[in-house]
């Protein structure tokens, strides 16, 4: 093996280097200069994101354990952009609350190592790498959820997350071991050739699916979501709901579409039921929430349910629309969480009632929130509309008319609760409205990127065609 072939995993190597640089800087920076880590990490992440857009060769490494294709490369780029926006948004929180406790670097190290895990998970060519990636992308998250360790809620979020994550990993691993027993191999392409319908195969599929359904918080596996989202610091919550979920969706789609293609009839039934449950229950719970973080948690559960409509299509169109929808979802949800974070940092308020009259005092923030919520709800002409529209077309194209009908009903319900927040911000008058405040520059840059993303992804149609072209498998 020539060393230059290692350049296929350039992104992984660069990210590992970033992690090491940050680790070393933590050791050598003096106590007064710890604040340097914020711009340092941001700068390195900008470099990493730019590096991702430079063309790369595609191929396999390590006997097929690591696979790099145009599509996985694009997925990693989407995750990069999301993490970059997240870093921009979390800078003020770190400066205000975390740096004085002397543990700002740890936040970056943990986030970046989970990102590395997601890279390896997406690029996995066998179940061993997949499982390692899954673990690397969920274990450090427990520490992140408990980052505000002296708040009882945050500690509780951490313990809840790690217990459910351990359970899900265990179940998933049991499924993988069954797959190994049936096919005698861990490599995806060998399994795809040997996998056929049978009792043990179905059980293996279900167990394996359960582990990823936990990460995506699909409905029977969603119980951890609301408590963990509420207890964690807001940057961690938005990371969980956007990046972690997006990566799980990507790898689930890849594995279902390629490795488990011969079991298509079985997993389509599973996805069908989960899609209906997830959309409906996520929506019904979102209706009743008063806290913004819990509200966004349940709305993100419902969004994952809509995503399953693309997965059920199981063709090139389905793959493309899943990637496209995640891209839009990244911008919309990060925009919404960015606003929640700005308000929470400056005033400590997190309830929907507190947002009443926000438009009169903070018009810009309200507009960003409006755009993000419209995009999440799927109102034209914002990007979210096209995302949902394409999802429905993909599912309808395969004959799932009833599923699409139920999804449309759910979109209407979702519209109602998204508009409740909009009404609170724009129509309600409130004498004690949150006063005007100036948020951190970096946070505003992050919000601007989100707004641009929402608009561009919706109005620039060649983007979808580009993704569609990459999605052949």
Partner 1 sequence: MERIIFYIFAAAIILFSLFSVTSTRILRAAIYLFLVLVSIAGLYFMLGYHFLGAVQLTVYAGGIVVLIIFSILLTEQIDSRMPAPKLGTMILSGAVAVIGATVSIFAITGHNFETTPETVNAGTVEKVGERLLSYGEGGYVLPFEVISVLLLAAMIGAIVIAKRPKSDEQTSE
User: For binding to partner 1 (CB under 8 A), which residues are involved?
Assistant: 1, 16, 19, 23, 61-66, 100-103, 106, 109-110, 113-114, 116-117, 120, 128-129, 132-133, 135-136, 139-140, 142-144, 146-147, 149-150, 158, 178, 181-182, 184, 198-200, 202-203
Select 132 or 463, whichever has its Cβ closest to partner 1. Answer: 132
In the complex, what is the shortest distance from the CB of residue 43 to partner 1, in angstroms, rounded to a whole number? 21
CB of 12 to partner 1, least distance (A): 9
Compute how many other C-beta atoms are within 10 angstroms of the C-beta atom of residue 80.
Answer: 23
**Residue 39 to residue 255: CA distance in whole angstroms:** 37
**CA distance linking residue 309 with residue 313, whole number of Å:** 7
Q: Give first-to-last CA distance, the chain, whole Å.
A: 27
**What minimum distance in Å lies between the beta carbon of 267 and partner 1?**
16
381 vs 215: CA distance, rounded Å? 31
Task: Provide, rounded to whole angstroms, the least separation between the CB of residue 128 and partner 1.
Answer: 5
Report the residue number, 134 or 212, with the smaller CB distance to partner 1: 134
d(CA 452, CA 457): 8
Q: Which is nearer to partner 1, 128 or 287 (CB)?
A: 128
Burial letters for 41-72: b for 16+ Cβ neighbours within 10 Å, e otherwise? bbebbeebbeebeeebeeebbeeebbbbbebb
Min dist CB 430 to partner 1, Å, is 35
**C-beta of 78 vs 143, nearer to partner 1:** 143
Residue 393 Cβ, how far from partner 1 at the closest point, in Å?
37
* CA pair distance 295, 369, nearest whole angstrom: 14
Residue 290 burial by Cβ neighbours in a 10 Å radius (0-12, 13-18, 19+): exposed
Within 8 A by CB and 6+ apart from 369, the residues are 335, 336, 339, 358, 421, 422, 425
C-beta closer to partner 1: residue 266 or 455? 266
- CB closer to partner 1, 61 vs 297: 61
Neighbours of 402 (CB within 10 A): 11
> With respect to partner 1, which residue has the nearer C-beta, 184 or 399?
184
Reduce the secondary structure of 442-467 to three states and give it as a string: HHHHHHHHHHHHHHHHHHCCHHHHHH
Cβ-based nearer residue to partner 1, 181 or 469: 181
Question: Rounded distance, CA 237 to CA 215, Å?
Answer: 13
Q: How far is the CB of 204 from partner 1 (least distance, A)?
A: 8
Give least dist CB 330 to partner 1, A: 23
């Amino acid at each position: 093996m020539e060393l230059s072939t290692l350049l296929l995993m350039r992104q992984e190597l660069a990210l590992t280097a970033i992690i090491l640089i940050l680790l070393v800087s933590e050791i050598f920076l003096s106590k007064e200069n710890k604040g340097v880590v914020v711009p340092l990490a941001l700068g390195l992440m900008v470099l990493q994101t730019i590096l991702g857009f430079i063309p790369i060769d595609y191929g396999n490494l390590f006997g097929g354990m690591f696979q790099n294709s145009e599509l996985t490369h694009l997925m990693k780029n989407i995750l990069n952009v999301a993490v970059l926006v997240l870093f921009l948004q979390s800078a003020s929180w770190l400066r205000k609350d975390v740096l004085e406790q002397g543990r700002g670097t740890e936040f970056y190290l943990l986030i970046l190592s989970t990102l590395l895990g997601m890279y390896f998970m997406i690029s996995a060519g066998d179940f061993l790498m997949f499982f390692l990636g899954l673990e690397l992308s969920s274990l450090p998250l427990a520490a992140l959820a408990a980052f505000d360790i002296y708040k009882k809620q945050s500690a509780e979020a951490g313990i809840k997350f790690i217990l459910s994550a351990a359970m899900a990993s265990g179940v998933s691993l049991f499924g993988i071991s069954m797959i190994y027993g049936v096919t005698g191999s861990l490599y995806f392409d060998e399994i795809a050739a040997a996998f056929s319908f049978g009792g043990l195969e179905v059980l293996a599929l279900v167990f394996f699916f359960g582990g990823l359904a936990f990460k995506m918080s699909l409905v029977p596996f969603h119980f951890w979501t609301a408590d963990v989202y509420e207890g964690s610091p807001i940057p961690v919550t938005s990371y969980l709901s956007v990046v972690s979920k997006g990566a799980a969706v990507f790898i689930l789609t890849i594995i279902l579409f390629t490795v488990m293609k011969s079991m298509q009839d079985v997993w389509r039934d599973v996805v069908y039921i989960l899609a209906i449950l997830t959309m409906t229950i996520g929506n019904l719970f979102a209706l009743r929430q008063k806290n913004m973080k819990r509200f966004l948690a349940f709305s993100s559960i419902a969004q994952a349910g809509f995503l399953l409509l693309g997965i059920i299509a199981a063709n090139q169109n389905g793959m493309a629309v899943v990637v496209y929808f995640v891209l839009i979802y990244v911008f919309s949800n990060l925009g919404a969480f960015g606003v929640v974070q700005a308000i929470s940092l400056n005033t400590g308020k997190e309830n929907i009632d507190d947002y009443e009259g926000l438009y009169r005092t903070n018009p810009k923030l309200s507009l960003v929130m409006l755009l993000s919520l419209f995009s999440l709800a799927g109102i034209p002409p914002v990007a979210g509309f096209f995302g949902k529209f394409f999802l429905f077309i993909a599912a309808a194209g395969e004959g799932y008319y009833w599923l699409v009908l139920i999804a449309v009903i759910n979109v209407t319900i979702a519209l109602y609760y998204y508009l409740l927040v909009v009404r609170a911000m724009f129509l309600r008058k409130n004498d004690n409205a949150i006063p005007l405040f100036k948020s951190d520059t970096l946070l505003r840059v992050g919000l601007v990127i989100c707004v641009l993303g929402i608009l561009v992804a919706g109005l620039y149609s060649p983007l979808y065609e580009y993704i569609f072209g990459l999605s052949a498998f």
